[in-house]
Amino acid sequence: MNPTDRARVGSLLAALGIAPESIAERQLPAIGEARRLVAADLGPDGRDKMLTPAAASAWQALRDGAGRDGIALQLVSGFRSYAFQARLIRIKLDRGLPLDEVLRINAPPGYSEHHSGRALDIGTPGCAPLDEAFEHTPAFAWLRREAGHFGFRLSYPRDNRQGYLYEPWHWYYRGRRR
């Protein structure tokens, strides 16, 4: 993260009441915002989902590979800016959720894999987006078997070290291994 981003993130964290110590305790890595993004796919909401060019290409290959096996994958979410991440947290705080609970659901601004443009939330028809029930779908079973071949890994399994709730829908593009 560059100094300008570090200052922006610091301001957002302070405005949300997120102490730097809470980030350090969870050993969350700082993540810079992607600078080059492309439209990867339309989401179920009809909006373009943005990813880095490499992640977009890998997503399309993953989606098409699943399709050849009779599995429909949907790109629910991709890139998120620091400001958008802060808004997600503010909405939950304004609803009365305690900060520690919100931070089990959402990463603090500056610490979300979505900032990288390489993280995506995946859904499938017939399952509510961003729902743990995704774990019980054929789509999830297919991803568990095949996503690694396309360079993706499940970021937040049960009892993950970052302290986030289990997210079977959240996958991160690390690049293809050779």
Tell me if the domain spanning 33-79+117-178 has CATH number 3.40.50.300: no
Structure confidence by residue, pLDDT tens digits, 40-95: 999 999 999 999 999 999 999 999 999 999 999 999 999 999 999 999 999 999 99
Tokens of 117: 């443009």
Residue 80 is predicted with a pLDDT of: 97
CA distances for 156 relative to 71, 121, 161, 167, angstroms: 22, 11, 9, 5
Burial (CB count <10 Å: 0-12, 13-18, 19+), residue 50: buried
The CATH 3.30.1380.10 portion of the chain extends over 33-79+117-178
Region 161-171: mean pLDDT is: 95
CB 74 within 8 A of CB 45: no
Q: pLDDT grade, residue 1 (50/70/90)?
A: confident
Task: Provide the 8-state DSSP code for 123.
Answer: E
If phi > 0 it is left, if psi is from -120 to 50 it is alpha, else beta; for residue 96 that is left
Residue 146 is predicted with a pLDDT of: 97
Q: What is the pTM of this model?
A: 0.94
pLDDT at residue 178 tops 60: no
Region 131-160: mean pLDDT is: 97
What is d(CA 58, CA 28) in angstroms, rounded to the nearest whole number? 25
Residue 176 is predicted with a pLDDT of: 74
The sign of the dihedral angle between the CA atoms of 96, 117, 168, 75 is positive
